[in-house]
Amino acid sequence: MRSHPDACPGAVELHAAADGGLARIRVPGGTLSAAQWDAVRLAAAELGNGSIELTSRANLQIRGLADGVELGERMRAAGLLPSWSHERIRNIVAAPLDDNQALVDALDAALCADPVLASLPGRFLVTVGASVSGLGGDIGLVGDVLLLAGTDTGVRVSDPVDAVVTAARLFQSLRGPAWRLSEVDDGVRKITAHFGTTDAPRLTPAVTPVAPSPLTPGVPLGRLDASQLPGAAFRLTPWRSLVVPAGTDVTGLITDPASPWHGVSACTGRPGCAKSLSDVRADVHAWVDAPAQTDASHHTHVPGRVPPISILGTRSDKPGAVHWSGCARRCGRPAGDVIEFVATGDGYEEIR
Ligand code: SF4
């Protein structure tokens, strides 16, 4: 059990990273208007290092900031920071292809209106919809099903907004130093008992990423440049991809399910992480951009390093997911079947 408060960054309270202040801008439900995206782009270019990261909770991050004061003002003016007191707990991930933003907005408003919930942990997560029900939310909604710690305990609800606020308040009263409901002894049973009427559990939580296409492009390594998608409205997904209107210029994004970028992820690496033994993202770009090897040795060489990095498995025969890390902590490793490459200081070690 952790005994210290979590240190999740917000748009105002920054994380001190090796490359400067890091801000996390919550986007409940992932929906961004064109004006909001332009506000984020300009802030990244004028206050940060010019790039915008997509997180696994469909939020945004800006790096290289001096402080969060001006960013906070800009995000508030853009409608992306409606509550100073609750900003870090506005973690609502929604199924991006469903019509659920109105429900998300109602949940967000109700959570922000309750002063007790301002001190929830920054790790607190609400999921809305079946395709994100397996992401491990503390509280989840799928129709009338109320998930608790990612499990269908049989609780059915008629007022989903009231049910989520009630469950969040109960979690807050029970949690002690815990950050997640799954860490609270008997927490799920106690909240289930509060709701009383239960049904036979019928839902198996799942994670169902949307496939890359011109309307749901992926973002290579989850990082956009401030010059991309000017004037575009879109929806962020928790799989570091976007749902865009037809006709959106998706240059530089992943639209082909057979793209060598599909399924490739990486940790922050240098220069953003002081622990990193390598500029991981640059190495991954070199690996993806290198000509595919078809020889019997099945080795791909990443150029530009001495000695060259030799990696078993070519891009053509790699599995669904490949994750690269700058040190043995292996941050951001996706769940499931994944091949990993971990920096050692003079190359990468493969872990299967
Ligand atoms: S895996 Fe290591 S290098 Fe990469 S972000 Fe985590 S701590 Fe930093």
Taken in order 182, 183, 189, 191, the sign of the CA dihedral is: negative
- Inter-axis angle of helices 101-112 and 160-174, nearest 10: 40
Q: What is the pLDDT of residue 1?
A: 52
Q: Please give, one letter per residue, the 3-state secondary structure of 218-247.
A: ECHHHEEECCCCCCCCEEECCCCEEECCCC
Judged against a pLDDT cut of 70, whether residue 291 lies above it is answered with no
For ligand 1, atom 6, name the residue with the nearest CA.
Answer: 331
List, for residues 216-273, the tens digit of each pLDDT value. 999 999 999 999 999 999 999 999 999 999 999 999 999 998 898 988 999 999 999 9
C-alpha to C-alpha distances, 107 to 52, 72, 139, 175, nearest whole angstrom: 26, 22, 12, 21
User: Out of 37-51, 98-112, 297-311, which region has the weakest mean confidence (pLDDT)?
Assistant: 297-311
Give me the mean pLDDT over the 186-200 stretch.
Answer: 92
Q: Which amino acid is at 51?
A: S
Of all atoms in ligand 1, which is nearest to the CA of residue 277?
A: 3
Direct distance between the N- and C-terminal alpha carbons of the chain, in angstroms, rounded to an integer: 29
Q: What is the pLDDT of residue 186?
A: 94
Q: What is the pLDDT of residue 310?
A: 43
| Helix-strand-coil split of the chain, %, nearest 5 | 25, 20, 55
Determine the Cα–Cα distance for residues 166 and 158; give it in Å rounded to an integer.
13
Sort strands 223-225 and 348-351 into parallel, antiparallel or unpaired. Answer: unpaired
Reported as a pLDDT band with limits 50, 70 and 90, residue 295 is very low
Taken in order 119, 123, 127, 133, the sign of the CA dihedral is: negative
For 277-329, the DSSP string reads: SS-HHHHHHHHHHSPPP-STT-EEEETTSSSPEEEES-TTT--S-EEEESSTT
Structure tokens at 258: 């057979």
Output the CA 282–ligand 1 centroid distance in Å.
Answer: 15
Q: What is the pLDDT of residue 4?
A: 63
Could you list the beta-strand ranges (E) of the chain: 15-17, 20-25, 31-32, 51-54, 60-65, 92-94, 126-128, 139-142, 145-148, 151-156, 223-225, 234-236, 242-243, 264-266, 299-302, 309-312, 322-325, 339-343, 348-351
What count of other Cβ atoms lies within 10 Å of the Cβ of residue 141? 26
Q: What is the pLDDT of residue 308?
A: 36
From 273, 281, 284, 324, mutation site for ligand 1 pocket: most ligand atoms within 8 A of C-beta: 273
- Closest by Cα among 76, 74, 103 to 87: 76
Output the CA 344–ligand 1 centroid distance in Å.
Answer: 12
| Ligand 1 first shell, C-beta below 6 A | 267-269, 273, 275-276, 325-327, 329-331
Judged against a pLDDT cut of 50, whether residue 292 lies above it is answered with yes
Judged against a pLDDT cut of 80, whether residue 80 lies above it is answered with yes
Judged against a pLDDT cut of 80, whether residue 213 lies above it is answered with yes
Output the CA 278–ligand 1 centroid distance in Å.
Answer: 10
Output the CA 343–ligand 1 centroid distance in Å.
Answer: 10
Structure tokens at 299: 């080795």
Reported as a pLDDT band with limits 50, 70 and 90, residue 57 is very high
Determine the Cα–Cα distance for residues 200 and 10; give it in Å rounded to an integer.
39
Judged against a pLDDT cut of 70, whether residue 311 lies above it is answered with no
